Homo-oligomer: A and B are copies of this chain.
Amino acid sequence: MTTDNKAFKALSDPTRREILGLLRHGERTAGDLAERFEMTKPSMSHHFAVLKNADLITSRRDGQQIWYGLNTTVVQDLMAWVMDLLRGDGKKRKGPPKED
């Protein structure tokens, strides 16, 4: 499984989840994102860095601005992990499984 601990750590902060939500529809600049939160720019920059490090977002510089975008590949890995939880083995029971 490619689903890394960093991704889950990154998702554990509500600000960062909100950032990802804003990136659903396409790229946005750091400044555009930052001004939507009641937080200093350095704090926002920190959150971008965490998301980037977890590979949840992409970034590219265009002149003075930096555009951030959603990395759907890693988000898909996350979804696979969650789906796996729900799949089970089709033999749910009360009581302990034989082995694991």
Residues in chain A within 8 A of chain B (CB atoms): 5, 8-9, 11-12, 14, 17, 20-22, 24-29, 32, 36, 67, 70, 72, 75-76, 78-79, 82-89, 91-97, 100
Contact = CB atoms under 8 A, between A and B. Distances in A.
A25 B79 contact: no
B12 A85 contact: no
A28 B96 contact: yes
A87 B24 contact: yes
User: What are the 9 A-B residue pairs with the smallest beta carbon separation, nearest first?
Assistant: A12-B12, A79-B82, A26-B93, A24-B88, A25-B97, A25-B89, A8-B12, A26-B92, A9-B12
Given A24-B85, A28-B96, A85-B75, A12 B14 contact: no
A85 to B, nearest CB: 5
B86 A82 contact: no
A100 B22 contact: yes
A79 B27 CA distance: 23
